Chains A and B, each alone.
Chain A
């Protein structure tokens, strides 16, 4: 009994690549190179909108495969985000038999995520786990015999993502999400009661109360979003680079931090390259320390190489510890090194304070003076005076590290953190929709429009917690209001 659907389904009406999907396709932080991959009809257009090719080169429409060097840019501000390689593979000779574009980023996790966010903003949709493989199969790129394995891959990726998110979605986070969704449903029920039972005795919608409720939920969601950074950190560790001129005590600082804290040895899929990478925990947050001090051998060549490596490590790192030697004088090289530090994600560490006189404040002031390089550095820099030898100031350094990780707000670690890009995107969607609903409530938009936005937010959170909207909404209405005739 083949049930066929309404008669107006035109044959062309159903295909599998309606929209363009995007995802970061290499495991986060695994290697230096992160790939952000697009597939779908607008893949090339979206990629071009966030890419500035090096002089004289451009994407050629007829070439089935082209590789370009250039920079990923923010379309509005034209600011470069990362130095990238752009690989364009035109259909049908691509992995998914759709237009596929890969942007090979060099910057660290932050750059990949920035590129991803830009692409989402110009129209791409975050891919479901395993969606690329699924499209490849459905577009006939993978033949029937491999169907079983494809299904397994898709299942693994989907359930893998599921397992991963469940692991990350520890109890308190999913509970927090459920609470937020419950609050949204409560607000939605107020609107729906005045809409569906307007001919009954349901008092008019109190728009002010609605706006207040929305604002509260929005704040809650914002708090969760802000932990997105921490979330990823929990997953792979905060990538922290210790840089500085040779013999300023980078390695001793590293050892001091290690000796004091329990070093975690785990099979974090990081590959140790030519840098020494250690994993330790500060205040419950795994720190992925990368010490460029690993280059033991001397010599100019090595020296040049060392500095180049420091610069790269600095770019890739979420946090930079710039070590200076308090016992030596400021010099040009140090000024240059500290000059292009991002104050929000760096701490200037004045080492060997044991060699100096003065109490903590005066030592810290000395480091601040050196850090500003005689007024050259930006204000509001984080500084700390320590002695790797005696361990003085290490606690101060540890709390500063924790502050940077938590985005400046101090909160206890049991606060749930958002791990994984999918969660961040979905919570982001919810936040955006709640904002639209809030504007609608203030500007007196129609109830049905405000309800659409709240509904979008609640279903975005629902996709995280696996609850579907309508049955819960009906229950909410009938438990909260005495309606129905």
Chain B
């Protein structure tokens, strides 16, 4: 989805209209059929899928400027490698899929590691979603959730009269919105707190204004809540992290190549620039003093015992998947022409010039990855770093002159609640047959977009179960790809339910 199409330019082709589900009112201020609470990764995936299926959906988010923003780390580590990534993205509706294919970078070498340009995803997702008819946004901090039966009383101030719909949400500013169904996609926002250094902040991710009303409402409805913890790694200001390691012959793999046994980060503010990192064949190995270290030095040296890192040039996920035929077609968003360009499209900054530090011997978990084109920060993955005494990085590595490098963003831990009693399709189930809390939701078989979803056997449709679904981390998703997929899965289930209550 390109930026060009944002404002109807008479010259550009008009967008083909999507099939509209019979029975839903169209145009004007018709009430949305589905409310998606939370505009993060899963919320957007769910809303885009629903709108794609002709369902009128409104995304209610506490901050429209962070719509679609992956709110935590920069990395995604897909256990199944590239194939799993390609397969996961296959089920994501086109506008989002294209954005993630362009905004994610992955190393040349065979690995299931992604680093995402969070800012690019946020900007492009909002822009793309605004193009989709039937999909609307509303800024509001949701503080309450009410069902038809207990939502009898007219909301005060709202003057909207009794809730005659299935479900309604209320915002901090006293606005009441009704719909047939609601999808909770607030990430770790249910009772979320962020622990950063000695500070404890409310909210499901750093900087978010948290609200506890939603969690209490869900508990009253019988939702089982279980605490979830998420470690988010620190970030280091790129231009002051003058890091260089020693390098030597690249062993094995596909022929001779040079690889650094340490990290070399260029200092002129552009991130891990590839041209200084993977010197051409024939250069002699050199010993360079390592600076990216704090309490824990980043061990350098070519010895067999010391952990070795490889600096891998990264490329856009789209190019890598196309080159490995895991993704068909030559598509791609390409650079919009004639508009003020964005940093993630400008020459010299985009992903091509970034690299990633990967420890060689463990399964390829990234240690340092770029955090996006616009920011100069580098993301340090807590998993990747743990084994390599980069703890020091957690409080800041060393800068020339001995003083430790300050972390531009401290590592922090987010604790929130995930809802346990969900059906495999993410719907709130009140019976005890809910899936045991610790069992990860089975990876879903690829669901071709047009094929009807098999009815959910576990929950007979007629049982009085509230029309509430939960997507993303609030439903137990572990990373961004899982969040995307769970959003889509919930969308199909909601659409199926909507069709049923229509008949």
Direct contact of A and B (CB under 8 A): no
B-to-A contact residues, CB < 8 Å: none
